[in-house]
Amino acid sequence: MKVIAVATQKGGVGKTSTTVNLAAGLSLAGARVLAVDLDPQAQAGTAVGVNLSGEDQLARSLGWIIQARLQGMRMDLSNLWFDRSELLSEFEDAGTLHLLACEESTMTAAQDLIHKKGYQSTPILRRILLDVEDFFDFVIIDTPPAVSSLSATALAAADYVITVSIPEYPALKGAAATRGTVRYVKDRTGGECDPQFLGAVLNRSNPPSRWKSQEVNVRNGLLDNDLAPFITDIRTDNRISDSFAFGVPSVIRYASHGPGKMYGQLMGQIVERIQQPREKWEMPERIESEAPGE
């Protein structure tokens, strides 16, 4: 089982859409995938058609699961996650797609409890996921877009971390801060957790003919800040955000169109990096010319 956290310290850059489309894309390719919604806003759940409501469903919230585990209770996750494999029904040789969903009040309470118990509780999600490592090939974690005990818990749970930026300066700063945070996880967890930084996804990018100086500088900044950008970036496409309204990730809804192709290429590059040493990773070249759109 490979655990990948999608993280950034800047909101509004497409972290959740990256998470759910990566999870769904891996499922389409035949993998057994668990998406984990660790963001109290619960948008990853919405993206795959799950919204927790009512007391019976709140008992399935990841926030409650974390609280229970921190208090010494073990729970059977197979009774708590949501099977969303029906979204893959039209595709041959697809794998499975499950979700550990969340809800704001229970996740906020979990965050408070993690903070109260201190740094020794940071690996709690990793310990929970290790209980189900035989059930899944990949776990993809959606994280809160801020420095918090929940985001620290997500990084500690991961084997690999991907960050997300858009072609704007504040987003580059948030991605770089995430990269720096990953370096300290091993020390802060006493060696129990040691995630590898896998690279940066440039989201909502423009075609080269429309690049302005800010986009060129951000693209170069991803290289300058040791963020290992992927060759494939995700171009601006309204179909990606529109898919949230249908509870079906765009990589499934538009599998043979732009979103499906872009996320499919990105997914392949992510898997290649997991399998290869860093010195063999393919990355874009630095842009030396002026932006063609100006």
The domain in which residue 40 lies consists of: 2-280
Of the candidates 48, 147, 169, 152, the one whose C-alpha atom is nearest the C-alpha of residue 97 is: 48
Q: Give the per-residue pLDDT at 294.
A: 57
Q: What is the pTM of this model?
A: 0.94
Inside any domain, residue 288: no
Inside any domain, residue 159: yes
**CATH number (domain holding residue 66):** 3.40.50.300
Inside any domain, residue 15: yes
Token pair recorded at residue 263: 């996320």
Inside any domain, residue 294: no
Residues in the chain with pLDDT values less than 70: 54, 56, 290-294
How many domains does the chain contain in total?
1
Q: Give the per-residue pLDDT at 6.
A: 97
Q: Give the per-residue pLDDT at 260.
A: 93
Inside any domain, residue 290: no
Inside any domain, residue 7: yes
Q: Give the per-residue pLDDT at 293.
A: 57
